[in-house]
């Protein structure tokens, strides 16, 4: 669809025709103002010019002049090409997701679609679906191991956040776990936001074994800027492993520091969840959807593209043609 930014200028289109019929025709003076001593030469030149079909050429130039005016007015009115309507969220919640990618996340004690998988693979699948459902929220992604780093800043682009989560690799940030640094980085990214309450969802399967910030101190700092933290402990209670003495049952989550995770959630007004398998993690995210419902208010806009350079270019091209025709006509007279 094409529209005009300044459509009022289109009223100027008939101006040349109006002026032609309203203004009086220029009168020709019968009295010569300049005496030309070589009048006979000019008369002969004028007689020679009569051989050129000047009347028809004059009519064509007049039509081109009108068309140039038409194109200039169209360009001045600034034509715009409107694209298809695009819907964007008008407001939403700031939600950061911090995912543990330390070496322990490689333990294959989870089941996904009937197959035994490691913890991070299961988190990618379940958390990815959660991200897709958060319409209207600005979502950011933090990955932490020995160090914490921002994988995706807060954005409405849920597809990109999910893609970046799926590209995360175990051990990319080190083999240890810096829970405090993950919380501190999230608080740093959220402190300048204008929302009254911010949300951090932290997933880990261990205890704080690295980093420069104590997890409880980081939680207190987060509470000062109204960051509510929901902590999720990942890992099964028991797992069958093969040894030289046969199959044995072990607890793969013996290193999970649930007390610290509960304290972090309590200090910030959040909740601690335990996810022992895929179904329980899915239930955790369903509860988070209920506790922190997404905002669905939206606004619609239509992308626009300026087209003024097309009529402007056409007017310049026609002006060039008229200028060339004058040069050719004068060359014909000289010959």
CATH class of 88-298: alpha beta
Structure pTM?
A: 0.63
Q: Which CB contacts under 8 angstroms, 24+ apart, belong to 320-328? A: 321/64, 322/61, 322/64, 322/65, 322/68, 325/57, 325/61
Helix ranges (H only) for the chain are: 15-22, 39-49, 54-76, 119-133, 158-166, 179-190, 215-224, 258-267, 278-291, 309-334
Phi, psi of 241 (to 5 degrees): -125, 150
Q: Which sequence spans correspond to the domains of the chain?
A: 2-20+38-83+303-334, 88-298
- Per-residue pLDDT of the chain in tens (335 residues, 90 and over written 9): 788 988 999 999 998 888 878 877 655 554 445 555 545 554 555 555 454 455 566 777 788 888 999 999 999 999 998 888 766 655 568 899 999 999 999 999 898 888 889 999 999 999 999 999 888 788 999 999 999 999 999 998 999 999 999 999 998 888 999 999 999 999 999 987 777 778 999 999 989 999 999 999 999 999 999 999 999 999 988 776 676 666 777 788 888 999 999 999 999 999 999 999 899 999 999 999 888 876 655 567 677 888 988 999 989 998 888 788 767 655 555 55
Q: What is the dihedral of CA 304, 307, 308, 312, to 10 degrees?
A: 170
DSSP sequence for 259-315:
HHHHHHHHHTT--EEEE-SHHHHHHHHHHHHHHSPPP--EEEE--EEE-THHHHHHH
- Ordered DSSP codes for 245-260: TEEEEE-TTTT--HHH
Residues 6+ apart with CB under 8 A from 255: 104, 205, 206, 207
Phi, psi of 139 (to 5 degrees): -115, 135
List CB contacts of 118: < 8 A, sequence separation 6 or more. 105, 106, 107, 108, 110, 170
Q: Are 192 and 242 in contact (CB under 8 A)?
A: no
Please give the pLDDT value at position 220. 95
Using the structure block, give the residue that is written with the tokens 């309203």. Answer: 22
Beta-carbon contacts of residue 233 (< 8 Å; ≥ 6 apart): 204, 205, 253, 256, 258, 261, 272, 273, 274, 275
Sign of CA dihedral 292, 293, 297, 303: positive
Yes or no: say if 282 and 126 are a contact pair by the CB < 8 Å rule: yes
């Amino acid at each position: 669809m094409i529209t005009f930014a300044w459509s009022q200028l289109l009223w100027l289109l008939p101006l040349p025709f109006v002026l032609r019929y309203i203004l009086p025709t220029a009168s020709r003076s019968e009295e010569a103002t300049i005496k030309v001593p070589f009048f006979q030469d000019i008369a002969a030149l004028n007689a020679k010019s009569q051989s050129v079909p000047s009347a028809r050429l004059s009519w064509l130039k007049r039509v081109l002049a009108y068309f140039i005016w038409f194109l200039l007015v169209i360009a001045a009115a600034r034509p715009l090409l409107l694209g298809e309507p695009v819907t964007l969220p008008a407001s939403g919640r700031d939600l950061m997701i911090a995912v543990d990618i330390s070496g322990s996340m490689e333990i294959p004690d989870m089941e996904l679609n009937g197959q035994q998988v490691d913890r991070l693979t299961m988190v990618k699948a379940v958390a990815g679906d959660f991200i897709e459902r958060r319409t209207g929220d600005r979502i950011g992604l933090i990955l932490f191991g020995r160090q914490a780093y921002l994988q995706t800043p807060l954005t409405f682009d849920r597809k990109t956040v999910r893609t970046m989560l799926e590209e995360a690799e175990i051990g990319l940030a080190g083999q240890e776990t810096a829970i405090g640094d993950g919380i501190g980085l999230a608080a740093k990214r959220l402190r300048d936001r204008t929302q009254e309450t911010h949300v951090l969802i932290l997933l880990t399967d261990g205890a704080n074994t690295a980093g420069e910030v104590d997890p409880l101190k980081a939680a207190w700092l987060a509470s000062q800027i109204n960051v509510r933290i929901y902590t999720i402990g990942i890992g099964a209670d028991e797992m069958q492993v093969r040894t030289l003495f046969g199959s044995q049952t072990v607890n793969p989550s013996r290193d999970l520091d649930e007390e610290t995770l509960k304290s972090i959630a309590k200090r910030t007004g959040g909740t601690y969840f335990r996810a022992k398998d895929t179904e329980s993690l899915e239930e955790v995210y369903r509860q988070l959807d209920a506790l922190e419902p997404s905002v669905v208010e939206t606004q619609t806009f239509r992308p626009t593209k300026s087209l003024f350079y097309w009529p402007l270019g056409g007017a310049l091209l026609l002006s060039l043609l008229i200028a060339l025709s004058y040069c050719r006509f004068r060359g014909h007279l000289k010959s």
